[in-house]
Amino acid sequence: GNSVTQMEGPVTLSEEAFLTINCTYTATGYPSLFWYVQYPGEGLQLLLKATKADDKGSNKGFEATYRKETTSFHLEKGSVQVSDSAVYFCALSRAGGTSYGKLTFGQGTILTVHP
Q: Does 102 bind another protein (CB under 8 A)?
A: yes
- The mark string for 21-40 relative to another protein (x by CB under 8 A, - otherwise) is -----------x--------
**Binding span for another protein by CB under 8 A among 18-26, 62-70, 71-79, 94-102:** 94-102
Of the candidate residues 9, 29, 40, 101, the single one contacting another protein (CB under 8 A): 101
Residues 115, 111: Cα–Cα separation, whole Å: 13
Beta strand extents in the chain (DSSP E only): 3-6, 11-14, 19-21, 23-26, 32-38, 44-50, 56-59, 62-65, 75-77, 86-93, 103-105, 109-114
| Residue 26, H or E segment | strand 23-26
Instruction: Print the binding letters for residues 50-89 with another protein: x by CB under 8 A, - otherwise.
Output: -x-------------------------------------x
Contact stretch for another protein (CB under 8 A) within 15-23, 59-67, 73-81, 96-104? 96-104
Measured from the CB atom, is 51 or 58 closer to another protein? 51
Cα–Cα–Cα angle for 56, 73, 3, rounded to 5 degrees: 140
